[in-house]
């Protein structure tokens, strides 16, 4: 992993793979760059894949402070500045798509198009109530308990059958990517986030919103609600998968991403 310093002197980790036009891959809230490995294997022949560990996560500094989506978007833009990249499309998972949308809103010209999976931009009582519950669990039992509570929502039926013996190990492994001191303020930012319908309706970049058919954390109807407001946006449901699509259907995610980027090349 390489590193750079943000304008507020936080050390962030990133890596690059492949050749071609730049493509910025932004993780889900508590994921690191390795989540994208199966997808990058199918993208790197055509794109220079740039993978960022959000502040507080993975190889990036365990920063403790007030998180916000404006801050995460600024971090992504400053990484592009560091790499001397004027603009790039974004492939985002959940939180990563929210960061991409904030880039489009507050840093026009830096993002050319966006593909996102499991991303909700509008306020939702369902997600807010659950995220508040996760915040309580984090305070009670730390990262491991908080992560364990979501496994049944973010994985498909088939993925759970395959991985059920390892779910405890997966939850415990999350403590290597983050700590509770950083994770708490991140969840606070997620709970507080919502983008106004008029902001979405004024977006000008092409966007593809993907939703997992079995995603119980960010259900398809919630993703579609955003896509209907975003001018010219496309909406597709991925069958037989849930939220962690880079692990469940990496080849299909890469195929849909490449097709969209080919059709909307700047």
Give the percent of the chain with pLDDT over 70: 100
Segments in the chain below pLDDT 50: none
In the block, tokens 């929210």 appear at 98
Question: What domains can be seen in the chain, in order of their start residue?
Answer: 2-123+195-263 (3.40.50.1820)
Cα angle for residues 72, 110, 121 (degrees, 5° grid): 50
Sign of CA dihedral 111, 114, 118, 123: positive
Give the pLDDT confidence score for residue 199 in this predicted structure.
97
pTM of the model: 0.95
Output the CA–CA distances (angstroms, integers) from residue 191 to 127, 130, 159, 180, 199, in the order listed: 8, 9, 27, 16, 19
In the block, tokens 């069958």 appear at 239
Output the CA–CA distances (angstroms, integers) from residue 263 to 73, 114, 207, 257, in the order listed: 25, 12, 11, 10
Give the pLDDT confidence score for residue 168 in this predicted structure.
80
The answer to whether residues 118 and 216 touch, using CB atoms and an 8 Å cutoff, is no
The answer to whether residues 14 and 79 touch, using CB atoms and an 8 Å cutoff, is yes
């Amino acid at each position: 992993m390489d590193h750079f310093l943000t304008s507020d002197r936080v050390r962030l980790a990133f890596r690059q793979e492949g050749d071609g036009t730049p493509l910025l891959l932004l993780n889900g809230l508590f994921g690191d760059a390795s989540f994208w490995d199966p997808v990058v294997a199918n993208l790197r022949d055509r794109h220079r894949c740039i993978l960022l560990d959000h502040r507080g996560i993975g190889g990036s500094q365990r920063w403790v402070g007030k998180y916000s989506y404006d801050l995460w978007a600024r971090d992504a833009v400053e990484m592009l500045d560091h790499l001397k990249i004027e603009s790039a499309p974004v492939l985002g998972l959940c939180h990563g798509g929210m960061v991409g949308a904030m880039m489009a809103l507050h840093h026009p010209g830096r993002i050319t198009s966006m593909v996102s999976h499991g991303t909700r931009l509008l306020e939702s009582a369902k997600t807010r109530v659950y995220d508040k519950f996760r915040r309580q669990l984090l305070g009670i039992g730390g990262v491991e308990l908080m992560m364990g509570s979501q496994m049944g929502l973010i994985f498909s039926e088939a993925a759970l059958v395959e991985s059920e013996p390892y779910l405890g190990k997966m939850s415990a492994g999350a403590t290597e990517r983050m700590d509770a001191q950083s994770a708490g303020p991140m969840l606070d930012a997620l709970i507080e986030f919502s983008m106004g319908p008029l902001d979405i309706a004024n977006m000008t970049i092409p966007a593809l919103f993907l939703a997992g058919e079995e995603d119980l954390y960010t259900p398809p109807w919630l993703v579609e609600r955003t896509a209907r407001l975003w001018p010219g946006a496309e909406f597709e449901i991925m069958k037989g998968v849930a939220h962690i699509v880079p692990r469940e259907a990496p080849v299909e995610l890469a195929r849909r991403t490449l097709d969209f980027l080919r059709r909307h090349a700047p």
